[in-house]
Amino acid sequence: MPYRASMSVEEREEFLDEVRVAVLAVSEPGRGPLALPVWFVYHAGVVEFGIDADSLKAQLLRAAGRATIIVQDESPPYRYVSVEGPVEPTGAERDVLAMATRYLGADLGAWYAKANPSTESSVVFRLHPEHWRTQDFSAAATAADEAGMSGE
């Protein structure tokens, strides 16, 4: 019996709708990939995240034109989604309040948005998924429970 399984499209979309920090990975010439955490939102089949347009992340994204984002559940049973595809900067204004509220809640999100407003150097990037990798290790947790090995 396999103890891991790929997520269905519905499971993947539900997972990405939950509040999780993603790790953005982009090629950095002459080095390994640059991998940094980002807040994101997934809707209409696209991953969106806002960053400073002058940052190293933005420079590398423009140069590479592609990136990978991985989102994981750090508690057992482990699950993850990895998505790779082309990226593009948009003309959309970064909605700091909406993103901060998503990640920090209403009160702390409002404070964060006021302290870190969107500026002329803010940019929203969109990652258009081409390749997905997903894993859900729930079957392993179920098998462990059935074997009396849940650890509780």
Q: Phi first, then psi: what are they for 117, rounded to 5°?
A: -70, 160
Residue 15 lies in a domain: yes
- pLDDT averaged over every residue in the chain: 90
Residue 74 lies in a domain: yes
Task: Please give the single-letter amino acid code of residue 40.
Answer: F
Confidence band for 86, pLDDT divided at 50, 70 and 90: very high
Measured from the Cβ of residue 51, the count of other Cβ atoms closer than 10 Å reads: 21
Instruction: Provide the domain limits for residue 101.
Output: 9-144
Residue 91 lies in a domain: yes
Q: What is the pLDDT of residue 140?
A: 65
Residue 75 lies in a domain: yes
Pairing mode, strands 122-127 and 46-52: antiparallel
Q: What is the mean pLDDT of residues 3-24?
A: 91
Number of domains, the chain: 1
Task: Please give the single-letter amino acid code of residue 15.
Answer: F
Q: What is the pLDDT of residue 93?
A: 81
Residue 119 lies in a domain: yes
3-class SS letters over 99-130: HHHHHHCHHHHHHHHHHCCCCCCEEEEEECCC
Residue 92 lies in a domain: yes
Residue 149 lies in a domain: no
Confidence band for 3, pLDDT divided at 50, 70 and 90: low
Retrieve residue 76's tokens.
Answer: 């057992």
Q: What is the pLDDT of residue 4?
A: 63
Q: What is the mean pLDDT of residues 119-129?
A: 92
Query: Under the phi-then-psi rule, with left for phi > 0, alpha for psi from -120 to 50, and beta for the rest, what region is 44?
Result: left
Q: Comparing 40-44, 50-54, 104-108, 146-150, which segment has the lowest mean pLDDT?
A: 146-150
Q: What is the pLDDT of residue 147?
A: 59
